[in-house]
Chains A and B, each alone.
Chain A
Amino acid sequence: AQRVTQPEKLLSVFKGAPVELKCNYSYSGSPELFWYVQYSRQRLQLLLRHISRESIKGFTADLNKGETSFHLKKPFAQEEDSAMYYCALGGGSNYKLTFGKGTLLTVNP
């Protein structure tokens, strides 16, 4: 069974501070991991995916298969980063995504 755990419901940091949103997954096969973001009054949208190995809006995430983690990091948080962040896991031939429960990030001025 696929499972995604985001241990923090809420995360609050100050502007300019580093931020790390944690994501752990459980899956027996080869996983595909994603981070989706939902800004206030906007649609849920893809932030980044592990196979792209790219940095989006200063965010990066590295897949650690040994620790079954895919933590999202940004060295210097900005107020516009305040949003709900969802980690998602894909696996198997049906291409379904399993989402975590989300972490609400608040970046204070």
Chain B
Amino acid sequence: DGGITQSPKYLFRKEGQNVTLSCEQNLNHDAMYWYRQDPGQGLRLIYYSQIVNDFQKGDIAEGYSVSREKKESFPLTVTSAQKNPTAFYLCASRSRRGDSYNEQFFGPGTRLTVL
């Protein structure tokens, strides 16, 4: 199913390397989000963007970077500064029209493993 897609599904990285996770949506949503999901930790917000060319740090932004050059795309870079990057990463998007707390739609996720 389309809507919001993430690639790759699995990603392996050597220590010291930066990697970029892709997130694309064709829902015409203004807001996009990156979460990290760890067992027993729930979802923790890394970065979010309400509009193009603007983004804010979430609760665990250290070691991560993002860009929002296009409405459809919100890539996440996991840098070598992230001390424990092995995790499942979820991207989400939300419409800002009408109700302010519209549903967030989630992608299928990318599992990142650092070797």
By a beta-carbon cutoff of 8 Å, the part of chain A in contact with chain B is 6, 9, 32, 34, 43-46, 49, 51, 86, 90, 94-102
Contact = CB atoms under 8 A, between A and B. Distances in A.
Contact of A45 (B35, B45, B100, B106): B106
Interface of B: 31, 35, 40-45, 48, 50, 56, 58, 90, 92, 94, 96, 100-101, 103-109
A6 B58 CA distance: 21
Contact of B101 (A45, A90, A101): A90
- Chain B contact residues: helix, strand, loop or mixed: strand
B42 A99 contact: yes
A100 B42 contact: yes
Contacts of A90: 101
B101 A49 contact: yes
Given A46-B103, A95-B50, A96-B58, A9 B40 contact: yes
B94 A95 contact: yes
Nearest to B59: A98
Contacts of B100: 95
A32 B101 contact: yes
8 contacts: A34-B101, A44-B106, A86-B43, A95-B96, A96-B58, A99-B43, A100-B42, A101-B41
B90 A96 contact: no
Given A43-B106, A96-B58, A100-B42, 7 more contacts: A6-B42, A43-B108, A43-B109, A44-B43, A44-B90, A90-B101, A95-B96
Contacts of B105: 45
Contacts of A51: 101
B104 to A, nearest CB: 7
A101 B44 CA distance: 9
B42 A101 contact: yes
A95 B79 CA distance: 27
